[in-house]
């Protein structure tokens, strides 16, 4: 996908997300005891005199579903769409402590469900066609509403905060993800052209036009400086920061009347007087009263700023006063951007910033399975339980598929952490020499220190301030958090321990959610850690492009029935989806593994 195609796709996605967000606000007001179809029609009528115009205000994917032939035919068909939304949201909230699903998740589920209708996006001529998997050829067209309901419900319910779904309203195999970074447009201050303005130098001078620079020791109490636009950051012996002029950069004119000389950060002379020149000539700096710092008294004998040659010079009285050390004398300047050279051209350019965009792709891959049932089993499901066989096969596959997918991503995250333990593993040790815990509550409260350090480390690694995060825990990890004081941890009360689900079991008072990961996923192998457990910290990004894991749906899970045996139904299940670590290098490895060691027997 080239840049123009990526921009077009992102424009479509942005529009769909906006409409989905607006619709979800209205849907939240619907009365669950009344018909969603009737309430939807009332909503459209209330917001527009023309139904066609009103429909333009809702997400295109929802519009396609409600206008599809096999759904629009009956109110029950249209209600299946809303049931899918309502059931999916309810199940998501049950599994995630009452939180509403992200709008991206809802939009992704709606877009995926359109694949079962004649309004599905068919892709371009270069895309492989899977006409045989289309529900338009299905022998039982009545299952379309059921299939749509299942896809919407499971698409929302199974969407853990672990994976940020990238909306894919066009059904493309490739979904673009864009990384934009601000860079310095020139050499100025400590920044060099092309360096990230929010990188490791983010808090150092570039735009701020006050420049505190170390003067050179010329001997006999004299210190000088030639002003240049760029300088470097260095550390003094006392661990303070200093800035040293880079003489390879261009000279920088500065304003008269704003020059200040300091020793150890204390002002000793300035030219802030009425008779100073501003744009040219020499500006004489007036010494202040002698400054005593500790056992040393500093006395300025003379000081001058040459505005034409861009230099500053100061001489200290070394007879009656002390001589400053080499890097103790600094001058503060304000660069003059209005100054012109002899040709009438500005000498300095204002510092600028550029945006660099990198385009990455998230690629869907195909998965498939088969399921066989006898006529007896199918009719029994339908007659006694009211369950449609095709929808059941679809739902079983979706549950297992998503569970395996989450396991793959979590295992990969743990492996990456262990591959770089120095940066991505933090240890909480309950048995530290010299540290005595009065009770379990006192012991467990110290986990907050380790979690705080882990979050700070991740923020530094990704150069992104991490606000909230989730913890995915092992069996012993779950027991550890469940034993914490209720002042520090609030359990959801959700039953857990089965081998086929991930549950949110509680929340720390910091807002961090705690999810239980069953041993069947193979994520944590606690036998290797004596009397301990694990917790995997995963940042909770508000922006999908910055999330640790991203996914998309090109073709949702769909079924195709065949009847090789007259008394059996053979169902093929197929999808084309993606779920992977963020392809943007900056956000690729955002997890931190917490080892819980020497825990008391619980």
Residue 286 within a domain: yes
Residue 236 within a domain: yes
Give me the mean pLDDT over the 581-595 stretch: 90
Residue 523 within a domain: no
Buried b or exposed e, range 7-35, using 16+ CB within 10 angstroms: eebbeebeebbebbeebbebbeebeeeee
pLDDT in tens, 480-536: 888 888 888 899 887 787 887 888 899 998 888 999 999 899 999 877 666 788 999
pLDDT for the residue numbered 338: 93
Give me the mean pLDDT over the 251-265 stretch: 95
Q: Which of 130, 126, 163, 156 is nearest to 573 (CA)?
A: 130
- Percent helix, percent strand, percent coil in the chain, to nearest 5: 35, 30, 40
Q: Given pLDDT bands bounded at 50, 70 and 90, which one contains residue 455?
A: very high
Residue 138 has pLDDT above 50, yes or no: no
pLDDT for the residue numbered 54: 56
Residue 440 has pLDDT above 80, yes or no: no
Residue 528 within a domain: no
Residue 141 has pLDDT above 70, yes or no: no
Compute the distance between CA of residue 69 and CA of residue 468 in angstroms, rounded to an integer.
Answer: 44
pLDDT in tens, 219-236: 999 999 999 999 999 999
pLDDT for the residue numbered 130: 32
Q: Which of 599, 468, 436 is nearest to 543 (CA)?
A: 468
Domain count, the chain: 1
Residue 312's domain spans which residues? 186-351
Q: Given pLDDT bands bounded at 50, 70 and 90, which one contains residue 49?
A: low
pLDDT for the residue numbered 504: 87
**Alpha carbon 573 to chain centroid distance?**
33
Residue 25 within a domain: no
Residue 259 within a domain: yes
pLDDT for the residue numbered 126: 35
Share of the chain above pLDDT 70, in %: 83
Residue 124 has pLDDT above 60, yes or no: no
| Residue 490 burial (10 A CB sphere; 0-12, 13-18, 19+) | middle
Share of the chain above pLDDT 90, in %: 33
Q: Given pLDDT bands bounded at 50, 70 and 90, which one contains residue 142?
A: very low
Highest mean pLDDT among 72-76, 98-102, 212-216: 212-216
Which residue has better confidence, 494 or 253? 253
Q: Which of 83, 59, 99, 97 is nearest to 154 (CA)?
A: 83
**DSSP 8-state assignment for residue 305:** E
pLDDT in tens, 148-192: 776 676 666 666 668 887 877 777 888 888 777 788 999 999 999
Which residue has better confidence, 581 or 138? 581
Q: Give the residue carrying structure tokens 């001529």.
A: 125
Q: Which of 549, 552, 556 is nearest to 581 (CA)?
A: 549
Which residue has better confidence, 209 or 444? 209
Residue 560 has pLDDT above 60, yes or no: yes
Q: Given pLDDT bands bounded at 50, 70 and 90, which one contains residue 3?
A: low
Q: Taking all residues of the chain, what is their mean pLDDT, rounded to a whole number?
A: 82
pTM of structure:
0.68
Residue 539 within a domain: no
Q: Which of 46, 85, 89 is nearest to 62 (CA)?
A: 85
pLDDT in tens, 397-423: 777 888 899 999 999 999 999 999 999
pLDDT in tens, 273-326: 888 898 889 999 999 999 999 999 999 999 999 999 999 999 999 999 999 998
Residue 155 within a domain: no
Q: Give the residue carrying structure tokens 């088969």.
A: 370
């Amino acid at each position: 996908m080239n840049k123009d195609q990526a921009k077009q796709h992102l424009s479509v996605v942005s529009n769909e997300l906006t409409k989905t967000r607006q619709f979800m606000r209205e849907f939240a007001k619907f009365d669950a005891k009344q018909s969603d179809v009737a309430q939807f029609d009332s909503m459209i009528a209330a917001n527009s005199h023309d139904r066609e115009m009103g429909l333009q205000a809702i997400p295109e994917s929802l519009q396609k579903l409600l206008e599809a032939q096999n759904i629009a035919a009956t109110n029950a068909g249209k209600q299946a769409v809303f049931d899918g939304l309502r059931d999916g949201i309810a199940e998501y909230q049950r599994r995630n402590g009452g939180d509403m699903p992200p709008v991206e998740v809802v939009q992704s589920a709606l877009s995926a469900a359109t694949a079962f209708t004649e309004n599905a996006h068919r892709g371009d001529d270069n895309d492989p066609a899977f006409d045989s998997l289309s529900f338009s050829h299905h022998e039982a067209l009545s299952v379309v509403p059921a299939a749509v309901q299942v896809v919407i419900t499971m698409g929302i319910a199974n969407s853990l905060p672990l994976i940020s779904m990238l909306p894919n309203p066009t059904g493309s195999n490739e979904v673009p993800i864009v990384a934009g970074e601000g860079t310095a447009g020139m050499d100025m201050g400590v920044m060099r052209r092309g360096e990230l303005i929010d990188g490791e130098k983010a808090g150092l001078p570039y735009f701020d036009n006050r420049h505190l620079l170390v003067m050179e020791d010329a001997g006999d109490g004299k210190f000088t400086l030639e002003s240049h636009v760029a300088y470097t950051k260095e550390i003094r012996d006392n661990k303070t920061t200093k800035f040293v002029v880079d003489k390879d950069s261009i000279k920088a004119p500065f304003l008269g009347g704003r020059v200040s000389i300091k020793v150890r950060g204390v002002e000793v002379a300035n030219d802030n007087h009425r008779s100073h020149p501003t744009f040219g000539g020499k500006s004489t700096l007036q010494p202040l009263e002698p400054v005593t710092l500790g056992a040393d008294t500093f006395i300025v004998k003379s000081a001058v700023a040459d505005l034409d040659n861009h230099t500053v010079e100061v001489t200290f009285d070394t007879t009656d006063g002390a001589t400053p050390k080499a890097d103790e004398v600094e001058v503060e300047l304000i660069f003059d951007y209005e100054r012109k050279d002899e040709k009438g051209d500005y000498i300095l350019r204002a510092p600028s910033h550029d945006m660099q965009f990198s385009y990455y792709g998230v690629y869907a891959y195909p998965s498939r399975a088969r399921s066989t049932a006898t006529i007896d089993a199918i009719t029994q499901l339908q007659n006694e339980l009211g369950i449609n066989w095709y929808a059941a096969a679809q739902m079983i596959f979706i549950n297992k598929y998503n569970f395996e997918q989450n396991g793959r991503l979590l295992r990969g995250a743990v492996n990456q952490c262990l591959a770089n333990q120095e940066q991505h593993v933090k240890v909480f040790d309950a048995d530290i020499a010299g540290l005595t815990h009065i009770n379990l509550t006192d012991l467990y409260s110290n986990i907050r220190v380790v979690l705080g350090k882990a979050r700070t480390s991740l923020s530094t690694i990704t150069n992104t301030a991490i606000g909230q995060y989730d913890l995915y825990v092992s069996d012993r990890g779950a027991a550890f958090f469940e034993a914490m004081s209720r002042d520090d941890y609030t359990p959801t009360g959700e039953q857990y321990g089965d081998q086929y689900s991930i549950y949110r079991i509680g929340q720390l008072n910091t807002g961090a959610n705690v999810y239980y990961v069953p041993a069947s996923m193979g994520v944590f192998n606690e036998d290797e850690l004596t009397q301990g457990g694990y917790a995997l910290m995963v940042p909770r990004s508000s922006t999908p492009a910055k999330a640790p894991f991203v996914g998309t749906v090109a073709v949702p899970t769909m079924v195709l029935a065949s009847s090789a045996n007259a008394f059996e139904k053979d169902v093929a299940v197929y999808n084309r989806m993606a779920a992977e670590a963020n392809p943007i290098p900056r956000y690729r490895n955002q997890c931190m593994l917490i080892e819980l060691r020497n825990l008391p027997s619980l």
